[in-house]
A and B are shown apart, each in its own frame.
Chain A
C-alpha cells in the first residue's frame, strides 16, 4: 500500500525568505502523480503544484517549486520570497495511475508560520 510521510509538523520562515517542506512517499508503481495542497485558516484546500512522475523536470508555479527525486521517493516543496499569505497547512498527496489507486493519499500536513 502507498504511504505519504510529512516529517515536519510545523515550520517557520521569515517573510521574504525561502523555506522547504519535505514529503516522502512509498509506492511500487512507476507512474503516479504528486500534489501539494495548501489549507489556509478558511480550510479551503487549494492546489499549489502538481508533478507527474514520468516527467523528470521539476514543476514550478511562480514562487513555488518542487524537488522531485523519484529514486529516493522524495517530493519537497520550496517556497521562495515567503509572504504572510503563505501561512497555512500544507499537505502532500499521492495519486496512483492504475485502477484502484486513483484516490489521493494525504500526508499528515505541515503547518507553516510566516514571521513578519
Chain B
C-alpha cells in the first residue's frame, strides 16, 4: 500500500517552454501533497504544500507564478514549471499524505533538464 507515482520520470525541454509533472496517489486518498526539489548530492528542499481543493502554500523564496501547483482531486496533484530556464533543471519529488498529520509517501521523482 501507500504507492505514489510521478509522470514523467524524465523530461527534456527547451528554454521558455512549460513542463507539467503529475503526482498520483494510487491506493489512498491524499488530502495533502508536497513538492520538493533536490539538487545533486543535497537534501530535499520543500517547495510547496498543497491541500485538495485549495491554493498551495509556497515556501519562502519559491516563485508561485513560476511553479504552478494544482491539487484538483484527492489522488492527483500537478506541478507546472512555466517558462522553464536552465537553472530550473533539477530533480523534482512529490510526496502524498492521507492527512496532514500522517506519514508522507514519496513518488519516484522527475528529472527535468532544460536546454
> Do A44 and B43 touch across chains, with their CB atoms under 8 A apart?
no
> Do B101 and A104 touch across chains, with their CB atoms under 8 A apart?
no
Residue of B nearest to A44 (CB): B108
> Do A104 and B46 touch across chains, with their CB atoms under 8 A apart?
yes
Interchain CB contact (< 8 A) of A42 among B101, B103, B105, B108: B108
Interface membership of B67, Cβ < 8 A: no
Residue of B nearest to A33 (CB): B103
Count contacts between A and B, CB distance < 8 Å: 41
Q: Mark B90-101, 1 if CB is under 8 A from A, else 0.
A: 010101000011
Q: In the complex, A47→B108 CA distance in Å?
A: 13
Q: A43-B108, A43-B109, A103-B49 are in contact. Are A109 and B43 (CB under 8 A)?
A: yes
Binding site for A on B (CB under 8 A): 32, 34, 38, 42-44, 46, 49, 91, 93, 95, 100-101, 103-106, 108-109
Binding site for B on A (CB under 8 A): 33, 35, 37, 42-47, 50, 91, 97, 102-104, 106-109
19 A-B pairs within 8 Å (CB atoms) are namely A33-B103, A35-B103, A42-B108, A43-B38, A43-B91, A43-B93, A44-B106, A44-B109, A45-B93, A45-B106, A47-B103, A91-B43, A102-B32, A103-B34, A103-B46, A103-B49, A106-B43, A107-B43, A109-B42
